């Protein structure tokens, strides 16, 4: 999988989420206390945008119905979602944040 540069380190403050695009996919780039995680920006329950939700510790909460996902693993942690979201490897090289996305 190729690494695609999507943001700079200062672009996503700790405790926040920002949508980035890589290989035609909308990805929610999450900064959880200085560690970056990348997940699909789509709730598996109703296809809502996860980036508009709140990052609570290692979980992101969908703003529509309160489903939660662990940003580290993609696992659904609160109903109504039961299907995990896809995760992507993230690397930080200096100031550049890259995500590995299949072509």
pLDDT at 64: 87
pLDDT at 47: 87
What are the respective helix, strand and coil percentages of the chain, to the nearest 5? 5, 50, 45
pLDDT tens by residue, the chain, 103 residues: 789 999 999 999 999 999 999 999 999 999 999 999 999 999 999 888 999 999 999 999 999 899 999 999 999 999 999 999 999 999 999 999 999 998 7
pLDDT at 83: 97
Identify the CATH assignment for 3-100 out of 2.40.10.10, 3.10.110.10, 2.60.40.10, 2.102.10.10.
Answer: 2.102.10.10
With 0.85 as the threshold, say if the pTM is over it: yes
pLDDT at 29: 98
For residue 88, give Cα distances in angstroms to 19, 35, 36, 66.
Answer: 13, 13, 10, 23
B/e letters for 51-90, b = 16+ CB within 10 Å, e = fewer, are: bbbebeebbbbbebeebbbbbeebbbeeeebeebbebbeb
CA distance 17 to 41: 10
Eight-class DSSP state of 61: E
- 26 and 52 Cβ atoms separated by less than 8 Å: no
Domain residues of the chain, as ranges?
A: 3-100
Q: Which two tokens stand for residue 68?
A: 């939660």
């Amino acid at each position: 999988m190729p690494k695609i540069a999507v943001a700079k380190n200062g672009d996503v403050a700790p405790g926040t989420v920002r949508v980035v695009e890589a290989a035609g996919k909308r990805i929610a780039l999450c900064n959880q206390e200085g560690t970056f995680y990348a997940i699909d920006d789509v709730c598996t329950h109703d296809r809502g945008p996860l980036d508009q939700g709140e990052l609570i510790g290692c979980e992101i909460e969908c703003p529509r119905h309160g489903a939660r996902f662990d940003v580290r693993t993609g696992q659904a942690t609160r109903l109504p979602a039961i299907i995990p979201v896809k995760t992507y490897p993230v690397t930080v090289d200096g100031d550049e944040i890259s995500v590995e996305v299949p072509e």
